[in-house]
Amino acid sequence: MSRSSNPLVTVTVPMYNNERYIAETIRSVLNQTMDDFELLIYDDHSTDRSLEIVRSFDDPRITIFSSERNLGPEGNWNRAISDVRGRYVKLLCADDLLFPECLEKQLAAFELSENEGVSLVSAQRAIIDPEGKVLINKVNFIDGGLKAPDEVVRKMVRMGTNIIGEPVCGLYPARLIALTSGYSARIPYTIDLDFWMQLLRLGKLWMIDEPLCAFRISNLSWSSRIGEMRHKQFLAFMEEVAADELFQINDLDLFIGRFNSAVQSMTSLMGFKLFAGSAAEKRVIAVQ
């Protein structure tokens, strides 16, 4: 299938064994209020019906790539941004969702005259469970508007958690990809945050104070698979960004962040276990 040579947006989806959610994820992209996009799906040698489900969609904006071997998240995420043709890029995990106006409103933010020098537009997100039920309507760690990189990163370190959002939340200029080193799973839990940090070294953040997407908590998600390593890995990430003078992180920031990170990690882990357990219980009941 031929691809558009110059779509405004590339939505790119790295996929591995996501047969349960991938159709819903694709539909959330196809139902956008703006339609000038391409949707690239990169299957990482799935062993379930994911690829079959993706191929059942008949839309000229979709292009499917498959791999003869499993590359893992880092390899497949980087492959997913290796051949984008849009002016802007959104990497979307294969179990998360875009709300209908997501692309339209994030593009509008880039077009604001005051947003010259913005390297990342992010939006608030809802949290949904494995069944798609909304658990939190709006995660709001940071208010809307233009944010300087040091302001954002210092607050994130102090809060001990991701205040920018998961990949589903962000939209960024494709031209900046070449100025980064891509996605790195050196610290697996912060593979997305590491990339956001690279973008914030190149410009400012614009935050849209409205939930335009949904991040799914499930036992299939990358975050849940990291499990109890989350706290230790976020601490390692904090130490790395503190070493960058651009972000102006001090010892007090790190002290506060270490405490808050432990609290956030404990709360998140309990949530993942609770909802993963609830989903498993529902599946048992369903087959009885």
- Residue 3 pLDDT: 61
- Residue 267 pLDDT: 67
Report how far residue 122's alpha carbon sits from residue 165's, in angstroms, rounded to the nearest whole number: 7
- Residue 2 pLDDT: 59
Burial 63-77 (b: 16+ CB within 10 A, else e): bbbeeeeebebbbbb
- Residue 242 pLDDT: 93
Report how far residue 150's alpha carbon sits from residue 249's, in angstroms, rounded to the nearest whole number: 8
| Nearest Cα residue to 139 out of 120, 159, 111, 118 | 159
- Residue 205 pLDDT: 96
Residue 126 near residue 136, CB atoms below 8 Å: yes
Residue ranges of the chain whose pLDDT lies below 70:
1-4, 113, 219-228, 267-288
Report how far residue 189's alpha carbon sits from residue 192's, in angstroms, rounded to the nearest whole number: 8
Q: Where are the domains of the chain?
A: 9-287
What is the phi/psi pair of residue 30, to 5°?
-65, -25
Q: CATH for 9-287?
A: 3.90.550.10
Report how far residue 278's alpha carbon sits from residue 9's, in angstroms, rounded to the nearest whole number: 37
- Residue 143 pLDDT: 93
- Residue 38 pLDDT: 98
